[in-house]
Amino acid sequence: MRRAGKSAATVLDRLCSMVKPGMSTFEIDEAGGELMSTMGIKSACKGYRSGHRVFPSYTCLSVNEEVVHGIGVKERILKEGDVISVDVCIRENGFIGDNCRTIPVGKVAPEIERLLRVTEESLFLGIEQAVDKNRVGDVSNAVQSHVESAGFAVITNFVGHGVGRSLHEDPQIPNFGKSGTGMKFRKGMAICIEPMVNIKSPQIRMAQDGWTALAVDGLPSAHFEHTILVDNGAAEILTIPDGYEKAEQFFADLLPA
């Protein structure tokens, strides 16, 4: 799980650093596929089945009002002021690493910057609650409280999840709920916490392609995710890219004070 997490984070980091206005989401996805093959790992998105549908791209790339599960396409060209969520989930030696970040394309409006910041903060507040003997609802409540006190809306159609040899394992980790409820965490459990946050309405609808979830109000949406390992004390974040000895340094670089 540690190796898979590190690889998933390394791919995510590299893809985020190449995002620029003028690029298509197809190009980013192709780069992701190539990088995975160089690293000797496989996408856990490509070929993912839901009913009779098969997910076609290596990564999920969701622009602006696209909430999650966007497909890399040649027609979607990034422009200054957009945001893009890059969701990378891979399999290595039979284990899954899954992580996501929403990043600005060039300069974005202050309200969108705030959306990204609040969503990532809610992820870290959730991670803080994921400790032995706490319950799933403690994570859910920490995420929801932070998002709603900032005036934003948590999406309830999708949830985080347990993770291991399969991408989606028990328990579900909702981004909304009551403290003290739900399954009890035990040291050694691996979970993905992944708040998805809209600016105004939490309502989503499905795009024509059958995969992409869209914010009904058409406003930008944010999504951040880490794979973590529950411990007695602070959880271990498994999705820290290669080249960072310490998680603290990675986060200091991501979120300048």
- CB closer to ligand MF3 out of 35 and 96: 96
CA 234 to chain centre: 20
- CB closer to ligand MF3 out of 37 and 249: 37
The interface partner of residue 82, options being ligand MF3, Co ion, none and the CB cut-off 5 to 8 Å by kind, is none
- CB closer to ligand MF3 out of 67 and 248: 67
Local structure of residue 24 (DSSP, 8 states): B
Chain contacts with ligand MF3 (rule: CB under 6 A): 45, 48, 55, 60, 69, 87, 89, 98, 100, 192
The interface partner of residue 45, options being ligand MF3, Co ion, none and the CB cut-off 5 to 8 Å by kind, is ligand MF3
Q: Name every residue whose Cβ is closer than 8 Å to that of residue 51 and which is 6 or more positions away in sequence.
A: none
- CB closer to Co ion out of 67 and 108: 67
Tokens of 13: 């980091």
CB-CB contact of 240 with 6 (8 Å): yes
Number of residues counted as binding Co ion (CB under 5 A): 2
**To the nearest whole angstrom, how small is the minimum distance from the Cβ of residue 170 to ligand MF3?**
14
Tokens of 98: 């899954």
Q: Nearest CA to 83 among 58, 68, 65?
A: 65
Residue 192 makes contact with Co ion by CB under 5 A: yes
Residue 98 makes contact with Co ion by CB under 5 A: yes
Number of H-type helices and E-type strands within the chain: 5, 17
Q: Nearest CA to 152 among 213, 102, 221?
A: 221
Contact residues for Co ion (CB under 5 A)? 98, 192
